[in-house]
Chain A
């Protein structure tokens, strides 16, 4: 099984920072969306709608680096970077980072780190959704919602994670494999 070298560690960190910088742009989007939905009691919806974007570093790192733990490390480092660059949740970001990372890692675990294709990404999107939703179930009081609304949030979250962590990640990795920069095991 592949091991971590300093080159991979730098790569996953740089990737995490790149994602962080790109999502910096979505910061205002989240606030505006949240503020627009808040009067209707739909503010958590903004969270669920955009969650996929924040969780993208996981599947992308897992797909590009292909070492067990890459998805977790990608998300975790992303949250470390966010913590130090003035994200307002401070050290508490790390918990979300680990939760999201473990969520997307599970998808890769289920395929034994052997397949890198659609199935992996769909599984990863599914596990990310379930794990992060489970976390919000307790942390953000999602367990106190009416069942119907809870399901709406869950489905919204899955669609978001699927679109960004699945479809967009697949499109990106397609470009990468056409450029022949993914590891050779990729096409095996």
Chain B
């Protein structure tokens, strides 16, 4: 499915189940999510992780509401299953879509300005360097006997300075490679937006609406 449409449908469904209270639809969505994940050959370890963590959070939330709230059992079931809907549906996107495909699709299909698409990609690919930089800043401070915590302004100050330098250098590098903001571009690789994608998109949204309106528990 087209990445932009896939992302949109998942976010819309997640938004919708946040405001509705039909646990049967939640369970149906969980099953669909699981099937998609299995078809995508998700690794068993990832799947276990995706099950164990929401299990903890959902149980803790339900337990907390039982102790300190006045929610009905029906609502608690809705809340419990809702957490799993988020995680499984969310994973169907991340497990089947590469960041590069999403940015390309957003640029070509959703008409996102190219400066956002390429700006984001440029920074995203710096990730390993960014992680190393945080470690370096901390190590450098340690050598002077300073421990930098999550709440130390110095830590953020230093990484912001680095971010400023890097972003200027990257932007200059892009310009020197011929990148012009807002100039018309051709695509080396086009992301198709087929009518099939629209059918899936409208179809799955319609199915969820039907499920929500049927009066299921």
Question: Footprint of B on A, CB under 8 Å?
Answer: 4-11, 13-15, 17-18, 21-23, 25-26, 34-35, 38, 40-44, 53, 60, 64, 77, 80-81, 83-86, 88-95, 138-141, 144-146, 149, 164, 168, 171-172, 174-176, 179, 181
Closest residue of chain B to A83, judged by CB? B94
Which residues of the other chain, B, contact A23 by a CB distance below 8 angstroms? 150
User: What CA separation (Å) do A64 and B167 show in the bound complex?
Assistant: 13
Encoded as 1 (CB less than 8 Å from any A CB) or 0, chain B from 150 to 187 comes to: 11011111011111101110110010000101000000
Given contacts A4-B115, A6-B119, A175 and B124 within 8 Å (CB-CB): no
User: What CA separation (Å) do A4 and B168 show in the bound complex?
Assistant: 14
Do B127 and A17 have beta carbons less than 8 Å apart?
Answer: yes
Do B157 and A92 have beta carbons less than 8 Å apart?
Answer: no
Which residues of the other chain, A, contact B127 by a CB distance below 8 angstroms? 17, 81, 85
Do B67 and A6 have beta carbons less than 8 Å apart?
Answer: no
Q: Which of A5, A18, A141 contacts B159 (CB 8 A)?
A: A18
Interface of A (DSSP majority class)? helix
Do A144 and B134 have beta carbons less than 8 Å apart?
Answer: no
User: What CA separation (Å) do A91 and B53 show in the bound complex?
Assistant: 16
Do B54 and A6 have beta carbons less than 8 Å apart?
Answer: no
Do B18 and A139 have beta carbons less than 8 Å apart?
Answer: yes
B141 in the interface, Cβ–Cβ < 8 Å?
no
Which residues of the other chain, B, contact A176 by a CB distance below 8 angstroms? 157, 160
User: What CA separation (Å) do A38 and B130 show in the bound complex?
Assistant: 34
Interface of B (DSSP majority class)? helix
Q: A5-B115, A92-B87, A144-B70 are in contact. List 8 more A-B contacts (CB 8 A).
A: A13-B122, A22-B150, A40-B67, A42-B64, A89-B86, A146-B70, A168-B156, A176-B160
User: What CA separation (Å) do A62 and B65 show in the bound complex?
Assistant: 35
Q: Which of B40-98 contact A (CB under 8 A)?
A: 49-50, 53-54, 56-57, 59-61, 63-71, 75-76, 79, 82, 86-87, 89-94
User: What CA separation (Å) do A171 and B115 show in the bound complex?
Assistant: 32
User: What CA separation (Å) do A144 and B67 show in the bound complex?
Assistant: 11
Number of interface residues of B (CB under 8 A): 73
Do B86 and A168 have beta carbons less than 8 Å apart?
Answer: no
Which residues of the other chain, A, contact B164 by a CB distance below 8 angstroms? 11, 181
Q: Which of A10, A145, A172 contacts B156 (CB 8 A)?
A: A172
User: What CA separation (Å) do A25 and B151 show in the bound complex?
Assistant: 12
Do A95 and B11 have beta carbons less than 8 Å apart?
Answer: yes
Q: Which of A5, A6, A179 has the most CB of B within 10 A?
A: A6
User: What CA separation (Å) do A93 and B131 show in the bound complex?
Assistant: 21
Given contacts A41-B64, A91-B94, A141 and B79 within 8 Å (CB-CB): yes
Q: Which of A8, A10, A139 has the most CB of B within 10 A?
A: A10
Q: How far is the CB of B69 from chain A (nearest CB, A)?
A: 4
